[in-house]
Structure 1
C-alpha cells in the first residue's frame, strides 16, 4: 500500500494493463512526491472543486484528494483508465466524479456550476494542452469560472506562457496569458518522473486570473495576435495587412516597422480595440 491506502501506481498500471498511448499524448506521472507537489501548488483545496483533465491511472487525482480537495471532477478520454479511477472513487466516497469523454468537447463552465470555488489542476495530455489553455484564457465571461489553473506543459510551452515582450518565447500565448492572468512557472519536472519518459523537461505553471484585465474584445485580440505572430519575422505593417496594416498601426501611435515580439500586451490591446 502507498501513502493513501491505495495500491502503488505501478501495480495499478500493470493490473489494468495501462500502457501509455502516444496517440492520446499520455505520459503517466508515477512519482508521488511530484504529484503531491503539484497538488500543493494548486493552493488550498479544502473548499474547492478541482477539475482535472487526463487523469490516466489517477496519480495526480489521488494526490489532489489526499491533500484535501473537497471534490475532484476528472475528464478521461481513455476508457482503459476508467476501472482504475473507479477504485479511487470508491476509496474516497462522494469526492471523485469521473466524466468519460473528450476534454475538447467538454463544457467546463457547466461542470463548474457547483456553487463552490473551482480550480483546474492537470498533467495535461501533450497533444491538447495548448488548445485547452487558449480556450480557458479566452472564455467570454470574466472573471472566469476558475480561481486558478495549475497545469503541466512541456517546458518550451510553459516558457511561452510566461514570456515577456522582446524575448524569443514571446508570442500569442504570452499575450493572451499576460493580458488576463498572472502566470509563473512553479517548478520543473524531469523526464524520468514519467512513464514512458518524454524527450523533454516539463514544467508546472500556476495561473491566476486578473480581476480586471484591460478591456478588449476576446475575438479581436485573438485574430490580431494570430496575424501578428503568424509572420513574426515581418514588420507589423505587413503581417497585419489584412486587418488594416499601416493605417491601423498609425491610428494608435505604433511604428509600422516594428515586429510583433516587441509590442507590449497593452499595445496589443490598443490595436485590438482599434480594429
Structure 2
C-alpha cells in the first residue's frame, strides 16, 4: 500500500519537464506492465534492499516497491529527476532512499543491508563499465545476491556468449567466470520514451559461490583485454602487449600458441591470468 496516490508517469514527465537526454543514455520506461514484469523477474524482493541505477522518473522504482522491496536505494545523476523521485519517496514512507550522483563513482555496498539485489534499466552509456565493476567486487561472493539488468540486445548476447562465436569476448569471460548469466526476455524499443534504435534485453546474473577457476580479477581482465584486443591474431602475437614472454605464459597455461582468443574457455583464460601474475 502506498501512502499517497501517484499520478501517471506521463503526467510526471510533463510536469517536471523530463525529456530524456541522449547524453545521459536515458530512455524512460512508461509501461507499468513491463516494469512490473522486470521487478517480478528480480524477485522475491521481500526482505531485500535493492540498488537501482538511473531511475529517471521512477517507473521501475514504483514497481520494485510495489513488489515488496524492503528498501530501494535509487542512484540518479540527473538532478531534474529528483523532484519526481521525491514524490515516490513520499508515497512509500521510509522505503526509498535517493542518492544524487554518478553511479560509477558511488560506493554501493555501504548503502544497503544484506540481503541486497541490483535491479536497473541501466543508462546505455555506462551499462558495461558498471557491470564490469560489479563483477570485480571483492571479496567474493559479493554483497549482492543477484543482478537483474537491462542492456542493449547486442550487449546481452555478449554477456552469455560461448566460445567460438563472434559475440564471445571480454564481457562474456568476466561475467561467466563469477556469475551464471542468462537472458530472461527482450524489451521492444517501443516500450521506451523516446524509443531507442535497438531492442533491449533483461539479463539475470546470479553470483557463483566459487568462480569457475582461480584467478586475480584484475589480472584476468588484463589478459582477456589483450587477447580480444587483437582477436584475429594468434595468442603468441596478441599477448605480446602484456610485457611478458607470451611463449612462457602460454606454456604455463597449457594452451596452444596458435589458438585465438575466441577459442579459449573461461577456465583457460584463468590459467593465462595465473601465468601472467607469476611472471617473469
Equivalent position of 1:246 in the other structure: 247
Cα pair 1:55 1:76 within 8 Å, conserved: yes
CA deviation after TM superposition for structure 1 residue 111, in Å: 1.5
CA deviation after TM superposition for structure 1 residue 205, in Å: 0.2
Equivalent position of 1:100 in the other structure: 100
- SS of the aligned residue for 2:218 comes to helix
CA deviation after TM superposition for structure 1 residue 244, in Å: 2.6
Equivalent position of 1:236 in the other structure: 235
* Cα displacement string for residues 65-119 of structure 1 (whole angstroms, at most 9, x for unaligned residues): 011111000000000000000000000000000001110110012213x2x3010
C-alpha separation in 2, matches of 1:258 and 1:68: 49
- SS of the aligned residue for 1:182 comes to strand
CA deviation after TM superposition for structure 1 residue 247, in Å: 2.2
Matched ranges for 1:184-195 at <5 A? 184-195=182-193
Equivalent position of 1:143 in the other structure: 141
Aligned residues, how many?
271
Equivalent position of 1:12 in the other structure: 12
- SS of the aligned residue for 2:219 comes to helix
CA deviation after TM superposition for structure 1 residue 246, in Å: 2.1
Cα pair 1:49 1:73 within 8 Å, conserved: yes
Equivalent position of 2:224 in the other structure: 225
Stretches of structure 2 lacking an aligned partner (at least 5 in a row): none
Matching residue within 163, 166, 170 for 2:164: 166
* Cα displacement string for residues 182-220 of structure 1 (whole angstroms, at most 9, x for unaligned residues): 000000001100000000000000000000112211111
TM-score by structure 2 length?
0.95
Cα pair 1:249 1:256 within 8 Å, conserved: yes
Matched ranges for 1:79-158 at <5 A? 79-112=79-112, 114=113, 116-158=114-156
C-alpha separation in 2, matches of 1:155 and 1:5: 35
Cα pair 1:140 1:218 within 8 Å, conserved: no
C-alpha separation in 1, matches of 2:254 and 2:104: 39
CA deviation after TM superposition for structure 1 residue 248, in Å: 1.1
Stretches of structure 1 lacking an aligned partner (at least 5 in a row): none
C-alpha separation in 2, matches of 1:191 and 1:33: 15
CA deviation after TM superposition for structure 1 residue 274, in Å: 1.3
- SS of the aligned residue for 2:206 comes to strand
- SS of the aligned residue for 1:186 comes to strand
Aligned-residue CA RMSD (Å): 1.2
